[in-house]
Amino acid sequence: MTRKRGNKKKRPRIGIYCEGESEAQYFTMLSQKYNARNVHSQKINIKSMGESGKKLITESKLKGKANNESNLYVVFDRDEKSVEDIQQCRKLAKRYGITILFSSISFEIWVLMHFEPVMHSYTRKQLVNKLSTKKYFNQDYSKFKGSSYRPYLYDKIQQAEENAKKLENIHNNMDINDPFTNIHQHLKEIFNVDIL
């Protein structure tokens, strides 16, 4: 008598394409955290592209197709993009079936949410200065960027999600709101978890 194999649903291959090294390091940490406890871990490809906006979306579509990835995510921030630029990015991503993980003014808004709620805007310089203090990274954050977030954020993902939900109640428009992030909305689907 032969044994029948279970008909487990095959998990999709996921591509996460990031604007910079900080974002890639962050998602690598999450992949290690959630796939370590998930017996049926999936293939997640995380890559820093050094691109932003429409160029990142277009390049990610090509890479995702080449890597046979069915679920694609791009991670970038506002930089100097206008409202029109953001709207064009959203249209292009929708056409390609890509999900945008976006932060305004920068990814560091999301990083700060691992420590506290964020309800007002910061400049990039203000965020770097704040994150450099003893309460957060206790080092020059501008030099830290691109290093592993594991010692600082690994056990604070749920707190970041809660803080992001508070912000979402008042700032939920990617095109115009600052501060803004939607990263928390997609982490559970990416990593196939119920609780962060």
Distance separating alpha carbons of residues 127 and 125, to the nearest angstrom? 5
Confidence category of residue 43, pLDDT binned at 50, 70, 90: confident
pTM higher than 0.85 for the full model?
yes
Contact between 47 and 63 under an 8 Å Cβ cutoff? The reply is: yes
Task: Read off the pLDDT of residues 19-42 as tens digits, 9 standing for 90 and up.
Answer: 999 999 999 999 999 985 554 556
Q: Where are the alpha helices (DSSP H) in the chain?
A: 21-36, 53-66, 83-96, 108-112, 124-132, 141-144, 150-153, 157-170, 187-191
d(CA 1, CA 74): 48
Residue closest to 27 by CA, chosen among 175, 148, 180, 179: 148
C-alpha atoms less than 13 angstroms from C-alpha of 78 in its C-beta half-sphere: 25
Q: Report whether 30 contacts 111 (CB < 8 A).
A: no
- Average pLDDT (54-63) is 97
pLDDT band, very low/low/confident/very high, at 92 (cuts 50, 70, 90): very high
Cα distance between residue 112 and residue 160, in whole Å: 8
Label residue 8 by pLDDT band (50, 70, 90).
low
pLDDT of 53 strictly over 60: yes
Give the tens place of pLDDT for each residue, 127-149. 999 999 999 999 999 999 999 99
Contact 158, 35 (CB under 8 A): no
